[in-house]
Amino acid sequence: MHIILSLIALIYLLPFWTVFTTAFKDSVEVRTSIPIVPPSNPTIDAFMKGSSEMLRGIMNSLIFTSLATIFSSMIGSVNGFVLSKIRFKYCDTIFLLLTLGIFIPYHAIIIPLIAVMRGIGLFNNLLGLAIIHTIYGIPICTLIFRNFYGEIPESIINAAKVDGARTTTIYRKVVLPLSWPAFVVSAVFQFTSIWNDLLFGLILTRGANQPASVVLANLLGTTAAEWNVQMAGTFMYAFPVIAVYVLLSKYLIRGYLAGAVKG
């Protein structure tokens, strides 16, 4: 059985392998050798060639992705708490409408968004990008935390109330310390989604402010002949996400199963 699974695994891993081998080949070998075969003279030429733009792109991505991840997670935590532990009228409807926001195609808001960003002077701006990603991350982070807090028994909250704590205190001292798994899920999921995003970067930024995803996409258009450069760029861009996956897939999977979807 393991044999069958391994054969299937080879098919899934093949593209990764070709990226890996091609990225380390020099320009001659790229054209002459079979892609599956590892490089005979591994070099990091390819990495050097496209590096300045790619690294700048990666820097940009790191900045707004980290900011947006942190802030959307924090917001999600508060919102999740309010929606699950502080019940009030229309609570469910509000939540439903918010959850719908997870599924909307960003194409449907992107044109007005340009006008808004230009209007407040945050167009082509990393901070602006961070804010946008934070806002559009609110629905999914709220969902993750609301589900998580739903699992915390009412009795703990009630015990704290009887002990005399106010709700804000309960949140800070009782709920928040328990929340770290949800924070990890939210952070991992948001980091991956925002890092992987293309559309916002494509339309809302230019030149030096572009995230790595856009840089890579442009690379494919221009240096089509130099596949090793292309693959090197792909490798650099994909690396953080793959690293996160290898280390923290458990949390990412929880996110996926909570109803979080990609794209």
Partner 1 sequence: MDRGSLPLIYFFIITLVFAYFFIYGLIGWNALLSFSRSLGLKIAFEISGFEQYLKMIHDPVFWVSIRNNLILISVFIPACIALGLFLAILLDITGGRGEAFFGRLYLLPFSLSFVVTASMWAWMYNYVYGVINTILSILNLNIRVNWLGNPDIALYSIVIVLLWQFSGYACLVILAGIKSIPESQFHAARIDGASTFQVYSRIVLPQIKFWIFSIFVVLMVFALKAFDLIYVLTNGGPGVSTYVLALLMYRRGFFETDFQYGAALANILYVLVMAIVVPYLLITLRKR
Q: Where in 25-44 is the site for partner 1 (CB under 8 A)?
A: 30-31, 34-36
9 interacts with partner 1 by CB under 8 A: yes
Distance CA(29)–CA(34), nearest Å, equals 9
Closest CB 75 distance from partner 1, rounded Å: 5
Binding test (CB under 8 A) with partner 1, winner from 62, 122, 138, 184 = 138
Closest CB 52 distance from partner 1, rounded Å: 19
Closest CB 263 distance from partner 1, rounded Å: 5
Closest CB 10 distance from partner 1, rounded Å: 10
Among the listed ranges 15-23, 39-47, 62-70, 152-160, the one in contact with partner 1 (CB under 8 A) is 15-23
Binding test (CB under 8 A) with partner 1, winner from 4, 40, 151, 155 = 4
Closest CB 195 distance from partner 1, rounded Å: 7
**Interface residues for partner 1 in 87-126 (CB under 8 A)?**
87-88, 92, 94, 96-101, 103-105, 107-116
243 interacts with partner 1 by CB under 8 A: no
Pick from 192, 228, 233, 239: which is nearest to 214 by CA? 233
153 interacts with partner 1 by CB under 8 A: no
Q: Kindly write out the interface string for residues 43-82 of this chain, putting x where it contacts partner 1 by CB under 8 A and - elsewhere.
A: --------------------------------x--xx-xx
Decide whether 11 or 180 has the Cβ nearer to partner 1: 11
Three-state secondary structure of the chain: CHHHHHHHHHHHHHHHHHHHHHHCCCHHHHHHCCCCCCCCCCCCHHHHHCHHHHHHHHHHHHHHHHHHHHHHHHHHHHHHHHHHHCCCCCHHHHHHHHHHHHHCCCHHHHHHHHHHHHHCCCCCCHHHHHHHHHHHHHHHHHHHHHHHHHCCCHHHHHHHHHCCCCHHHHHHHHHHHHCHHHHHHHHHHHHHHHHHCCHHHHHHCCHHHCCHHHHHHHHHHHCCCCHHHHHHHHHHHHHHHHHHHHHHHHHHHHHHHCCCCCC
**Interface residues for partner 1 in 169-228 (CB under 8 A)?**
169, 171, 192, 195-199, 203, 213, 216-217, 219-220, 227
